[in-house]
Amino acid sequence: MIEGNVITLLAAEALIAHRRVKFSGGSVIYADKNDAGIGTTEYGIDDATNVGVRLDNAGGTVEMTADGAISAGGRIWPADDGKVSATINGDSIGKAVVAATADGDVIECLPQRGDDDTAASSARSRTAVQLPTAAIWNNFNLSDMRKNPFAGSLLECDFAHGENIPDSRFTDASALIAVVPGAAGVGELTLFSTADNEEACVQWTGCPITSSGGQPWAIEVRVKASQIANTKGGWFIGLMAGDVALAGDHIVDGGTLADVGAIGFQNKEGDGDIIDVVYDKAAQTQNEHDDDYVTLVADTYITLALHYNGTTIAMYLNGVATGTAISAVDIAAADFPAADILCPTFVLKNAAADDVTTYLDWIRCAQQAA
């Protein structure tokens, strides 16, 4: 029995120092990017020679070999030939204590398994752009937030698995909110209306977000619309002040948002195939921060996100930061809902007495406690 951090094992191939290895029979060889390693070589050796392996469950840090540039403090993932990488590949295996600049650099790393958010979160087969964006969510300790309700605000709903509709919801007489089977029988949160000026809205008031001046936050959604013609209807998804008095009026008749604090993505009834990035402070004129942010295709999902890093708010489309971020100067202006308490909101407003529907595949929103 070995009680220390290093075990001596027989190598089944020549090995270089500071590379990840795995078992091959009773010997060890390099662990590639899809292999579960057992530890890292302490020194280089020839084939059929004993080598010291620092075990993955050892305490402290370990020297590892990078396959390219890695930022200091950045997460690391397994790579081929026993190296580590900044390229996302399943669950991360730790963080780089110092930066690597090139392939072959040996850097100090902190092993840390299973606390990131890069694994697929649904039984449905999805591509990377159809899943939450790792570049955003790896900045949050989601594992701790899931276990500890005092660690901050967290909302995670994947309607492919038939999530419940939140209690904070509003429907006019000719509107519907439901989780119904979509393509291939998987669930989608559906907002539907068939009458002019009728509204359906859901708000997750159990996930309050301080809009600025507090901890970083993010909200990301995968959403689509059934129709993109002008003057048929409009919708909003993002953060908005929670107020039961707004029932039926989160989007007022005529298509403008209610005059309350809001930050998010708006599809306006007069511009049916376009999403704009907007924000508003109560009693101020709504700021059209990024007109024509994305052009919609009917019945086609897109992934949208906002990420506040404590200074600015970046917008993401299908996993890529695009557009002009909401700057610190913008946030300090009178028309931004600075330091407001907002909650995730999804709302649809009919504008023409025709059938209009929007669908939500999943939503995630988080802000860690200070």
Q: 3-state class of 27 per DSSP?
A: strand
User: How many angstroms separate the CA atoms of 233 and 254, rounded?
Assistant: 9
Tokens matching residue 152: 């901050």
Question: Which CATH number is associated with domain 128-368?
Answer: 2.60.120.200
Tokens matching residue 320: 């890529």
How many angstroms separate the Cα of 223 from the Cα of each of 176, 251, 300? 17, 18, 8
Task: Give the residue with greater pLDDT, 337 vs 124.
Answer: 337
* Tens digit of each residue's pLDDT (9 = 90 or more) over 149-184: 899 999 999 888 777 888 899 999 999 999 877 655
Q: Residue 116 above 60 pLDDT? A: no
Q: Do 352 and 234 contact (CB within 8 A), yes or no?
A: no
Task: Give the residue with greater pLDDT, 35 vs 47.
Answer: 47
The chain-wide mean pLDDT, for the chain, equals 91
Strand (E) or helix (H) holding 143: helix 142-147
* Tens digit of each residue's pLDDT (9 = 90 or more) over 290-336: 999 999 999 999 999 999 999 999 999 999 999 999 999 999 999 99
What's the full length of the chain, in residues? 370
DSSP string, 77-122: EE-GGG-EESS--SS--EEESS-B-STT-EEEEEE--S-S--S--S
Close Cβ partners of 147 (under 8 Å, ≥ 6 residues apart): none
Q: Do 188 and 360 contact (CB within 8 A), yes or no?
A: yes
* Tens digit of each residue's pLDDT (9 = 90 or more) over 345-355: 999 999 999 99
**Superfamily of chain region 6-111:** Head decoration protein D (2.40.300.10)
Listed by start position, the domains of the chain span: 6-111, 128-368
Q: Do 320 and 249 contact (CB within 8 A), yes or no?
A: no
Q: What is the pLDDT of residue 124?
A: 55
User: How many angstroms separate the CA atoms of 20 and 34, rounded?
Assistant: 12
Q: What is the pLDDT of residue 112?
A: 81
Identity (one letter) of the amino acid at 260?
V
How many angstroms separate the Cα of 268 from the Cα of each of 224, 254, 278, 291, 298? 14, 9, 11, 11, 15
Phi and psi, residue 328, nearest 5°? -60, -35
- Select from 320, 168, 155 the least CA-distant residue to 243: 168
Q: Is the dihedral of CA 236, 314, 120, 150 positive or negative?
A: negative
Of the chain, the percentage scoring pLDDT greater than 70 comes to 95
Pairing state between β 199-203 and 106-111:
unpaired
Q: Range with the lowest mean pLDDT among 3-17, 31-45, 239-253, 270-284?
A: 239-253
Q: Residue 114 above 70 pLDDT? A: no
Tokens matching residue 28: 């060890």
119: confidence class by pLDDT, cuts 50, 70, 90: very low
36: confidence class by pLDDT, cuts 50, 70, 90: confident
User: How many angstroms separate the CA atoms of 203 and 168, rounded?
Assistant: 5
How many angstroms separate the Cα of 4 from the Cα of each of 57, 93, 135, 234, 248? 10, 21, 36, 63, 65
User: How many angstroms separate the CA atoms of 246 and 256, rounded?
Assistant: 13
Q: Residue 126 above 80 pLDDT? A: no
User: How many angstroms separate the CA atoms of 320 and 299, rounded?
Assistant: 21
CA torsion 337→341→344→349, rounded to 10°?
-60
Q: What is the pLDDT of residue 22?
A: 96
